[in-house]
């Protein structure tokens, strides 16, 4: 049903203004206030949900309010605060679940993550498709490109929608970057992902992070202190993505 193909060589997609027919709702959920994104195409009635971390009833209510049928559940990475609602949402909608292969070990360790953070783990459900760099997923206005952005986790990805939005998970925040003191993290890889992948996008591209407010690629190039000082040897701090002030 879904046309998933891997493109070997992707030319830069053009920047367009926000599509009039695309609905985007953001809800911060759960103890870490992780952002859940609900994207809907008003013309086709189809929807994509990114990182259903918790509070699935609220997600279902939004889908119902817009008369949207959920087709895809896209996961930026395998941390508990981004995946806890996957099973309930999949069972309620029949949507397919996508995660990068290199974060499967984290996904399978959700009970360990739960005890580390002192929270309760929900049951998991099988991943339907492994994400790969350059893969294109979805239909019409909701078609997006997968950008592998490792560092915060080995299998962290960003989802780029050619109408000018990128969902960066816990890789890039407004004025912050993802923490790299967790399982399989790498600060060097994180910085390379931001500078060599995300910062190649148009400056006007809107950035929707996994926690906290939105920003743009251009604003982060100018203002993000963790990225500006890369290479100077001055900054070695990582931010706690669970802290909203980041
Ligand atoms: Zn995370
Ligand atoms: Zn997170």
Per-residue pLDDT of 25-59, as tens digits, reads 999 999 999 999 999 999 999 999 999 999 999 99
Ligand number, closest to the Cα atom of 106: 1
pLDDT band at 228 (very low <50, low <70, confident <90, very high): confident
What distance in angstroms lies between residue 43's CA and the mean position of ligand 1's atoms?
Answer: 33
pLDDT, tens only, 132-180:
999 999 999 999 999 999 999 999 999 999 999 999 999 999 999 999 9
What distance in angstroms lies between residue 166's CA and the mean position of ligand 2's atoms?
Answer: 16
Ligand number, closest to the Cα atom of 241: 2
| Contacts by 15-23, CB closer than 8 A, 24 or more apart | 15/162, 15/164, 15/202, 15/204, 15/205, 16/162, 16/163, 16/164, 17/163, 17/164, 18/163, 18/164, 18/165, 19/141, 19/163, 21/141, 22/141, 22/142, 22/163, 23/47, 23/66, 23/68
The set of residues, in sequence order, having a beta carbon less than 8 Å from that of 234 and lying 6+ positions away, is none
Reference 168, options 115, 214, 207; nearest CA is 207
What distance in angstroms lies between residue 243's CA and the mean position of ligand 2's atoms?
Answer: 10
Residue 89 half-sphere exposure, CB side, CA atoms within 13 Å?
A: 36
pTM of the model: 0.86
Q: Residue 20: its pLDDT value, please?
A: 67
Ligand number, closest to the Cα atom of 51: 2
> Which homologous superfamily does the CATH classification assign to the domain defined by 21-228?
Ribonuclease Z/Hydroxyacylglutathione hydrolase-like (3.60.15.10)
Section 65-81 average pLDDT: 97
pLDDT band at 17 (very low <50, low <70, confident <90, very high): very low
Average pLDDT along the chain: 88
What distance in angstroms lies between residue 161's CA and the mean position of ligand 1's atoms?
Answer: 21
What distance in angstroms lies between residue 170's CA and the mean position of ligand 2's atoms?
Answer: 5
Q: Which residues surround ligand 2, an ion (CB under 5 A)?
A: 81, 170, 210, 241
What distance in angstroms lies between residue 171's CA and the mean position of ligand 2's atoms?
Answer: 9
CB 151 within 8 A of CB 100: no
Domain ranges of the chain: 21-228
């Amino acid at each position: 049903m879904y046309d998933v193909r891997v493109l070997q060589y992707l030319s830069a997609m053009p920047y367009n203004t926000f599509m009039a027919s695309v609905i985007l709702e953001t809800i911060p959920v759960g103890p870490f206030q992780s952002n859940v994104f609900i994207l809907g195409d008003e013309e086709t009635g189809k929807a994509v949900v990114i990182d259903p971390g918790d509070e699935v009833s609220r997600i279902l209510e939004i889908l119902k309010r817009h008369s949207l049928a959920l087709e895809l559940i896209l996961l930026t990475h395998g941390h508990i605060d981004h995946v806890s609602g996957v099973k309930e949402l999949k069972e309620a909608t029949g949507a397919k679940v996508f995660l990068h292969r290199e974060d499967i070990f984290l996904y399978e360790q959700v009970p360990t993550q739960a005890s580390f953070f002192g929270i309760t783990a929900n049951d998991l459900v099988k991943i339907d498709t492994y994400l790969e760099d350059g893969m294109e997923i979805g239909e019409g206005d909701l078609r997006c490109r997968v950008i592998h952005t490792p560092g915060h986790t080995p299998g962290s990805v960003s989802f780029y929608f050619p109408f000018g939005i990128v969902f960066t998970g816990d890789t890039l925040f407004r004025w912050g970057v993802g923490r790299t003191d967790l399982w399989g993290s790498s600060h060097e890889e994180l910085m390379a992902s931001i500078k060599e992948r995300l910062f190649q996008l148009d400056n006007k591209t809107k950035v929707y992070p996994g926690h906290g407010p939105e920003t743009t690629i251009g604003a982060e190039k100018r203002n993000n202190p963790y990225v500006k000082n890369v290479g100077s040897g001055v900054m070695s701090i990582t931010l706690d993505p669970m802290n909203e002030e980041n």
